[in-house]
Amino acid sequence: MTTADDFSSAFLSKPGQITSKLGSLVTLANVAKFPALNTFGVSMARVDYAEGGLNPPHIHPRGSELLYLEKGSLYVGFITTENKLFAKTIKQGELFLFPKGLVHFQLNVGEGPAVGIAALTSQNPGTSQVARGLFASMPAIESVVLSKAFQIGEGEVKHLRDVIAKS
């Protein structure tokens, strides 16, 4: 039997434990974790940032993101398909929009932790981290491809793979 509890959740209410070397943790409330979202075309996320923490460059292929900064100060930005950067520092209570499919990031530039709440325009927006996608894919992209694309040696490609796989 369906009850009101099927349409509510508290899992974004508490900070998560940040264990990533990047210093951030995303807790996603999408249709897979919160079935009530099915057919509504929305999802939400809580992003906890340690001091200096980074939500690294990533994309959401199926949704735009509206970030509300609940606590702290973040340097945020996105890059257009023409390689133009739109970036600024936002403070507690401010919003920033990341358009669908564009590379974007957030960096905690304040003192102490920060907390953001994101609304996404898809019940399953997807996330692809740029560095992880390129340097930690399975199977691995041929080293020569990354070496040529980034104009770095194959030793540097190996180093990046090792570092990113551990982050």
65 marked as part of a ligand binding site: yes
Sign of CA dihedral 115, 117, 120, 125: positive
Sign of CA dihedral 30, 32, 38, 39: positive
How far apart CA 151 and CA 115 sit, in angstroms, is 36
104 marked as part of a ligand binding site: yes
38 marked as part of a ligand binding site: no
Residue type, 25: L
159 marked as part of a ligand binding site: no
Measuring CA to CA, which residue among 101, 1, 115 is closest to residue 51? 115
55 marked as part of a ligand binding site: yes
Binding residues for Mn(2+): 58, 60, 65, 104
Annotated binding site: 55, 58, 60, 65, 104
Binding-site residue numbers for oxalate are 55, 60, 65
